[in-house]
Structure 1
C-alpha cells in the first residue's frame, strides 16, 4: 500500500482530533492537599489525562503583583552591593542604613503579638546592650552562613560587635564566615540527621550537633581505659578572607564541650608558639573552655589529647562586646527535634550562651509532605511546642519566626505554589501570635503565590524552586533586616 503525503496528513489530523476529543470525556477532582488530578477514575485506579478546559487554557498566570516588587528589588540589589563594599574604619562606628531609594511601603513588615510595642522595645534594648547573642536556627536555607551572615554584618555594623559566632568543628558545607579546619580523625554527629544513630545520652548541646575524635563507648571502665592509646586531634583557626570584614575580628574564643569522662589535655598555639596549656574538666557535664585574647589570632592551633574524646559542641568566635549571631543550619529539619535532646545539657549551655533573641526559620521541609489542613495544624502545634521548649531554657529570650519561602510543584502540568503552603503560612502566623512570638512572612516578602517562578527567572533563586541563589539570599536577608530596622526606629 502506498501512503501519499495527503493520506499521512489526514491520518495525523484524525489522530489529533481523537486525542482532543478524549479530553471531553475526562474529569478532575481536588485532593485533600489541594492538588488537582485529571483523567479517568475507576475506583482507586487512575489514568492521567488532561481535561478539555485545562488543555486549552493559558498556562501562564498573572505576575503583576509579583513584578510590582521588581523596582524595590532592583534598588535593594544596589544597596546590597554598597553593603558588601563597606569598609568601616572602626567597628565602634555605627553604619546607618540608607533607605532613601527604597519604597519602604512595599516592604513586608513583621507581625507581632498583642504586646507589639513592648516586644520591639525589649529587642531594641537587648541589641543596644553590652553584649547580645542571637541564635538563628533553620533548615538548609541557612547552610554556609547564608542569610545569617548578612544579618550578622548588618546588626554588627549598626550596634557593634564582631566575629562569626558559632562554628562547628566538623563542617559539612562550605563556610565562608570562618576559616576552621581540623585533623582527619574528627567525626560529626547531628541529632537532626535521620541517617545517623543517636547517642543514648541525647546530649547534643544548644546547637544540636557534636564532634568527636575517637570512638564513643556505651560503658567505660578502668580495664577499657588501660587498653586504649592516647589520641591526638587538632583544630586550626585562621582569619577568613571571603567573609564580611566584621566577621574577621574575634578575640573571645569559646570551645564548648561535655561528656568528658577521662583526662584530656589541651594545648593552644598561635603561630606555633605555645600560649596556653590546661586540662579539660572530666566530670561528664557541659563546660566552656575560654580563651580571651587582645587581638585576633593569625593562626591558632588547638591540640587535644585523650584516650576517649569528649563531645565537642563547637566553637564560638566573638568580639569583646556588641552583637554575636550564631548560624545553626539543620539540613532536612522541620524544627521539631529540640525537645528530644537532653533538657539539662541544653539548659546548661544556654545559661552560658545567654541568648537574648532566638530566630527560627522552618517549614520548607514539611511543605511537600502536608496532606491536608489537619496536617498543617498538627505540624504548627508540634513546632510551637519545640520553640517553647527552647525558649524555656533561656532567660526569657524573645522569638522571631521566619516562615517558609514560596515553593513550587508540578500541578496538572504547570509549576504552581504547593497548595497548602499559603494556609501553612497563615496558621504559622496565628500560632506565633497566640504564643507571644513575632512572625515574618518570607512567602509574602517574595510576592506571595507563584512568586518562586519569578525569582528563578530573575536569577534570584535556584532551579530547584526552593533555595535562593547567592544574590537572592542577600536580597531576602536585606528585606528581613529592613523590616526589623523600620520597627526598631519607630515609636508607634
Structure 2
C-alpha cells in the first residue's frame, strides 16, 4: 500500500473516532454493575488533565505517636520496620496544629466531660471502666480499636482486649488467636438475621453463639450429650503487654439445664463446674494472679445456652472493646432486647460509646439521605435512653473510591452521607469526628492506597493495618486534645 493511502486511512480512522467522541455519552454506556464502556471526549484530547489525588503528606507527617504522660517504663510504640516514631507530649498547645477536632452540637465540648471525669479518677478509685467501639468492617480484626486501647490503657491504666464473641465471626483478629470446635452456630442481629429465633436477646455484641440449634422445644427426650470448645491464645502482636488479663467473664443466658464446663489454663485443668440454669442474663467469672498464655473452655450438655460474650479484662483501669458488625449501617441497637442490653451495659460499667458506621450506605446512591439521618438518629436516641449519662462519639465515614474511566474518585454521594451522620449526631446530642476530612477529604483514599508503604487496601474502601493505626492515632489525638482542654479548665 502506498504511503498516501496509509496516511489517508489513518486520517479517516481519526476523523471517525473524533466524531464518535462528540456523541458518546460523557458518563459512558452502563452494561452492568461491573462493566461500562467509556470513550475519550474532545475536552480530554484538547485540554490537559489537571486531576490530582488529595495531598496527604502533611497529614501523615503530622500524625505522630504522642507520648502523653505515659509511665517512663512503657516502651514507645514502633512500626513494623522497627522505626521509632517521633514523640511529643500531648498538651493543648502542641496538639492544636496537628489535630482534626471533634465537633459538638452548639460547640458544647462539655458533652465529653462525664468520660473525662471517669478517666481522671480511674487510677485512684481502682475501678474498671469501659469504652465500647462499635463499627462496620472498617474496624474488623481490632483495627483502629487496638491502637486506641493501647494509648488509653497506657495513660490511664488497665490491660486486656475486652469483650469478644465466644466464636470468632470473621476469623481474623490482630490481638487474639481464636480457635473453636466446628459445631458452633452463630446468630446476629445484623446482616442476615435468623427470623425463626422468636426473641431478640443478642446482648451487647449484637450476636450470640450456641453449639446446639435453637429450638422452641429446647428439651427433647432423644437428645444426647454434645461437646464444644473454644481456645484463646495471645497473638503476640498487642503492644507493650496490653493483652494481659486478670479476670475472665462469660456472659450467657437461655440455659434450661445445668451445663458442665471445664476450664484449662495453659493446658492444665483448673476448674470444672456447671453453668447455672437461667432464662435471663448470667455471668460466670474467674480471676487470675498471672495472665494465662492460653485459655480453653470445654462445654458438655444436651442443650446449649446462648453465649453472648467473653470478657478478658484487667481488674481496674480502662477496657476498650472492638465490636465490628460487617455489613451494618449502625441500625442494629433497636433490634436488640432493650432490658437485657441495658443490664449488660450496666454490669460492664460502660462509660462511653464510639460508633463508626456509614460505609455500607455508600454503594446505594439516592438523591436524599434524610431517611438514613432519621434512622441513625433513632439508634443514637435509643442508646441514650438506655444510658442517659454516657457520651457518644460518632466517627463518620471515611473516603471511599469508585472507578471513573482510568482513575478513582470519591463516591458522588459520600459527602451527603457524611452530612446525614453529622446531623443525626447533633440532633441526638452526640459528638462527631469527621474521618473523611481528617484523612484528606475528596479523592484522598487513592493517596492512602498509593502511599509508600500503602495505608489502605486495593479495594479503595478499607484501611490496612498500618493505615488503621494512623487514622486511630488521629482520632486518639483529637480525644486527648479535648481531655487536655478539660484539665486546663479545672485549674
| Shift, 1:400, TM fit | 0.2
Q: Deviations over 1:378-433 (max 9, x none)?
A: 11211121122233223531100000110111346542111121222223222212
- Alpha carbons 1:76, 1:102 under 8 Å: kept: no
Instruction: State yes or no: 1:98 paired with 2:95.
Output: no
**What residue in structure 1 maps to residue 74 of structure 2?**
88
What does 1:313-332 align with in structure 2 at a 5 Å threshold? 313-332=308-327
**What residue in structure 2 maps to residue 33 of structure 1?**
none
Instruction: State yes or no: 1:280 paired with 2:282.
Output: no
Q: How far apart in 1 are the matches of 2:239 and 2:287?
A: 22
Q: How far apart in 2 are the matches of 1:87 and 1:256?
A: 35
- Alpha carbons 2:246, 2:315 under 8 Å: kept: yes
Q: Deviations over 1:283-341 (max 9, x none)?
A: 22111111122221233322221101111112110001111011001111111122122
**What residue in structure 2 maps to residue 167 of structure 1?**
164
Secondary structure of 1:391's partner?
Answer: helix
- Alpha carbons 2:90, 2:481 under 8 Å: kept: no
**What residue in structure 1 maps to residue 104 of structure 2?**
112
Q: Which moved more, 1:184-193 or 1:433-442?
A: 184-193
Q: How far apart in 2 are the matches of 1:395 and 1:228?
A: 45
Select 2:143's aligned residue among 143, 146, 162. 146
Instruction: State yes or no: 1:400 paired with 2:398.
Output: no
CA 1:153–1:462 in 2, change beyond 3 Å: closer, same or farther? Answer: same
| Shift, 1:252, TM fit | 1.2
Secondary structure of 1:248's partner?
Answer: coil
Structure 1 ranges of 4+ moved more than 6 A: 80-83, 100-103
- Alpha carbons 2:354, 2:392 under 8 Å: kept: yes
What does 1:59-78 align with in structure 2 at a 5 Å threshold? 59-63=49-53, 66-67=54-55, 69-76=56-63
Instruction: State yes or no: 1:447 paired with 2:440.
Output: yes
**What residue in structure 2 maps to residue 211 of structure 1?**
209
Q: How far apart in 2 are the matches of 1:412 and 1:240?
A: 42
Q: How far apart in 1 are the matches of 2:195 and 2:281?
A: 22
Select 1:52's aligned residue among 39, 42, 58. 42
Q: How far apart in 2 are the matches of 1:23 and 1:300?
A: 66
| Shift, 1:115, TM fit | 6.5
**What residue in structure 1 maps to residue 84 of structure 2?**
none
**What residue in structure 2 maps to residue 383 of structure 1?**
376
| Shift, 1:467, TM fit | 0.6
RMSD after superposition: 2.9
CA 1:456–1:273 in 2, change beyond 3 Å: closer, same or farther? Answer: closer
- Alpha carbons 1:254, 1:288 under 8 Å: kept: yes
Q: Count residues in correspondence.
A: 461
Q: How far apart in 2 are the matches of 1:256 and 1:454?
A: 43
Q: How far apart in 1 are the matches of 2:249 and 2:165?
A: 12
| Shift, 1:102, TM fit | 7.3
Q: How far apart in 1 are the matches of 2:3 and 2:73?
A: 73
What does 1:182-197 align with in structure 2 at a 5 Å threshold? 182-194=180-192
- Alpha carbons 2:184, 2:212 under 8 Å: kept: yes
**What residue in structure 2 maps to residue 92 of structure 1?**
none
**What residue in structure 2 maps to residue 430 of structure 1?**
423
Q: How far apart in 1 are the matches of 2:364 and 2:73?
A: 45
Secondary structure of 1:268's partner?
Answer: strand
What does 1:335-414 align with in structure 2 at a 5 Å threshold? 335-373=330-368, 376-394=369-387, 396-411=389-404, 414=407
- Alpha carbons 1:72, 1:103 under 8 Å: kept: no
Q: How far apart in 2 are the matches of 1:20 and 1:196?
A: 56
Q: How far apart in 1 are the matches of 2:29 and 2:46?
A: 15
Secondary structure of 2:97's partner?
Answer: helix
Instruction: State yes or no: 1:418 paired with 2:415.
Output: no
CA 1:273–1:305 in 2, change beyond 3 Å: closer, same or farther? Answer: same
What does 1:231-310 align with in structure 2 at a 5 Å threshold? 231-310=226-305
| Shift, 1:281, TM fit | 2.2
Q: Report the TM-score, using the length of structure 2 for normalisation.
A: 0.86
CA 1:97–1:19 in 2, change beyond 3 Å: closer, same or farther? Answer: same
| Shift, 1:97, TM fit | 5.6
CA 1:412–1:377 in 2, change beyond 3 Å: closer, same or farther? Answer: farther
Q: Which moved more, 1:305-314 or 1:277-286?
A: 277-286
CA 1:484–1:9 in 2, change beyond 3 Å: closer, same or farther? Answer: same
CA 1:240–1:471 in 2, change beyond 3 Å: closer, same or farther? Answer: closer
- Which blocks of at least 5 consecutive residues in structure 2 are unaligned? 31-35, 76-86
